[in-house]
Structure 1
Amino acid sequence: MTNLHLSLSGSLFQQALIEGDYSPRFFAYYYKQWNNYSMSYHQHNSTEIMYLISGSCVVDVCPRADEEERFKLKRGELIILDANVPHRLIVENGSPCRMLNVEFGFMEYTGVAPSIGKLALQEKALAEWLQVPFSSLVMSDPEEIYHVLKGLVLELDQSGGKGGSMVDLLFCELLLRLSSLRQDQLHTSQQPSQLYVRRSIEFLHQNYDQSIQVKDIAAAVNLHPGYLHRIFKLHTGRTVSDYLNMLRMEKAKMLLGQSDIPIAEIADYVGISSRQYFHLLFKKYTDNTPVEYRNSIERHSWSYEEMDLQ
């Protein structure tokens, strides 16, 4: 497809972004503490992200003439405002807030990181997000977006706003995380239990090496342990404990087969304090003892080597 060499508006929702090759262009990026402040309605030809680091505020938006929407934001929430959408910020007296703002548009592809269009071709969530226009969108961040935004602003500060490979890569990550968060948001409104189960599974994969119980997982996803147990079994066909044990045994198999870690230490690597219990679990899930499993892997590797020599 022919590359489009036209200047674009700052909106996220342009077919040219998907059909052509464009990179981000940043107009403003700053931290600001607001206290007892009421802003007049204004608009600008760029997409704006307002991230609330602390406190609370109100953002009024006019998506169409004679229509106003009011959003009350609190710590850890962000609002994305499309280009040329009138909006204003109100911070009430006694409730200061601190924000991180980033405003951006698009320019002809610089060739440093994937263009917006190429990224959308590879990531379905992003492609879908870019084709469903909105005037404003509020999302609650599990602290993933904030870390990317902080890194992006730091790189922009260090480059004097000129960008570079790290800026472009961080912007790509920002778009991917925002579109993924939006997808989660939509799924939550339709199937909240499925999202809780997915987050529980993510927690297990990140913490299987520690001593964790169902109550720890439930606390991490803000659910009652009994409710988590029911929905987890419903969506996975396994109890939480069974899934955790299965995950630990799969990690143990990987370590036994692909590392030289002593068998006596493998239990610690997968979060099981009792070596005897580890041996019993491993036998239950694999029909082998850890020694038998490692020996079988070694025999297979020798037979493959012998085949290669023939």
Structure 2
Amino acid sequence: MSPSGSLFQQVLIEGDYSPHFFAYYYKQWNNYNMSYHQHNSTEIMYLISGSCIVDVRPSSGGEERVRLKRGELIILDANVPHRLIVEEGAPCRMLNVEFGFMEYRGVAPSVGKLAREETALAEMLQLPFSSLVMPDPEEIYHVLKGLVLELDQSGGKGGSMVDLLFCELLLRLSKLRQEQLHTSQQPSQLYVRRSIEFLHQNYDQNIQVKDIAAAVNLHPGYLHRIFKSHTGRTLSDYLNMLRMEKAKMLLGQSDIPIAEIADYVGISSRQYFHLLFKKFADCTPVEFRNSIERHAWSYEEHDFQ
């Protein structure tokens, strides 16, 4: 007999079960009000862009309202009433999966085997919650996106890749949860973490140190000190590094004109963007893109030999 769709069951740790997916989608919402509903499956909503409201009625009673922002996710336990609200004129894009568990299929490690080997996962599975919001430093997004795409290609039937991606998703979620619990006990680390999350969510905007400090409710000078102490970088250095990593990704994985990439990463001066890129990459944006294209051409040529 299969367990229920909740993550928080001792049988999952002691036994051997694989995931079973009930729903999955990549969708844009606008001006949408969902009725309260519940289902016997765990649900993960990941907000790719925009914002939305998730109302939850936890088992302890009452109602909790969460406003999700870009790069945040919410995990909803099975049979917890909830609803999604997307306000008019404020569309959002979302990744979503709903899953429960079935008898082990022997393709990837079972949930129990993972939990018995990974302390962070075992701890997460034994600390129940009705809902949990977590910011993602771009670790969960790529795994979840890959999982949804694989489910879509298999018609929801799953397979080896789906099971492996689910294992990675659980491990990354549990480590993120562990970090969240750890930083909540250390205020300075929590402020640094929030600052990093703000930078990842707003790197494409014209932001300054005072904006970051305001977002985490700290004095700019104090935030500067603790950020440098914990990361070894100043806020400005971290922001520039993040922008250049995004620029590399756009140069290598898109056809966006080089002249426009500065705007995509939040730098208003194209001349400054070129100087900064050369400092971080030891080459100009043009040279970087040409090197990527040459490598791709050489690789394809090799494949046909």
Q: TM-score range by the shorter chain?
A: 0.5 to 0.7
Q: Deviations over 1:166-197 (max 9, x none)?
A: 11111011001101111111122111445788
Is 1:73 the counterpart of 2:68 in the alignment?
A: yes
Instruction: Kindly state the Cα deviation for residue 84 of structure 1 after the two structures are TM-superposed.
Output: 0.4
- CA spacing shift, 1:225–1:170, aligned 2, 3 Å: farther
Of the three residues 134, 138, 142, the one matched with 2:137 is 142
Aligned equivalents of 2:193, 2:91: Cα separation in 1: 35
Give matches, 1:1-310, under 5 Å.
6-64=1-59, 67-194=62-189
Instruction: Kindly state the Cα deviation for residue 73 of structure 1 after the two structures are TM-superposed.
Output: 0.8
Report the residue type matching 1:105 in the other structure. G
Worse-matched range after superposition: 122-131 or 64-73? 64-73
Preserved CA contact (<8 Å) 1:184 1:195: no
Report the residue type matching 1:29 in the other structure. Y
Instruction: Kindly state the Cα deviation for residue 165 of structure 1 after the two structures are TM-superposed.
Output: 1.3
Q: Deviations over 1:99-149 (max 9, x none)?
A: 111000000111111111110111111100000000000111111111000
Report the residue type matching 1:126 in the other structure. L
Matched residue of 1:127: which SS? helix
Aligned equivalents of 2:60, 2:114: Cα separation in 1: 34
Aligned equivalents of 2:226, 2:52: Cα separation in 1: 38
Q: Which consecutive aligned stretches of 4+ in structure 1 deviate over 3 angstroms post-superposition?
A: 192-199, 222-233
Report the residue type matching 2:69 in the other structure. K
RMSD: 3.1
- CA spacing shift, 1:227–1:100, aligned 2, 3 Å: closer
Instruction: Kindly state the Cα deviation for residue 35 of structure 1 after the two structures are TM-superposed.
Output: 1.1
Instruction: Kindly state the Cα deviation for residue 225 of structure 1 after the two structures are TM-superposed.
Output: 8.9
Unaligned runs of 5+ in 1: 1-5, 200-214, 242-270, 274-310
Preserved CA contact (<8 Å) 2:26 2:93: yes
- CA spacing shift, 1:227–1:158, aligned 2, 3 Å: same
Aligned equivalents of 1:113, 1:134: Cα separation in 2: 26
Instruction: Kindly state the Cα deviation for residue 68 of structure 1 after the two structures are TM-superposed.
Output: 0.7
Instruction: Kindly state the Cα deviation for residue 64 of structure 1 after the two structures are TM-superposed.
Output: 3.0
Matched residue of 1:17: which SS? helix
Report the residue type matching 2:182 in the other structure. H
Unaligned runs of 5+ in 2: 195-208, 235-279, 283-305
How does the TM-score come out when normalised to structure 2?
Answer: 0.64
Aligned equivalents of 1:8, 1:83: Cα separation in 2: 12
The number of residue pairs the alignment matches comes to 218
- CA spacing shift, 1:36–1:8, aligned 2, 3 Å: same
- CA spacing shift, 1:229–1:74, aligned 2, 3 Å: closer
Aligned equivalents of 2:193, 2:37: Cα separation in 1: 40
- CA spacing shift, 1:93–1:197, aligned 2, 3 Å: closer
Instruction: Kindly state the Cα deviation for residue 97 of structure 1 after the two structures are TM-superposed.
Output: 1.1
Aligned equivalents of 1:240, 1:76: Cα separation in 2: 23
State the structure with more CA Rg: 1
Identity percentage of aligned residues: 80
How does the TM-score come out when normalised to structure 1?
Answer: 0.63
- CA spacing shift, 1:198–1:60, aligned 2, 3 Å: closer
Report the residue type matching 2:161 in the other structure. M
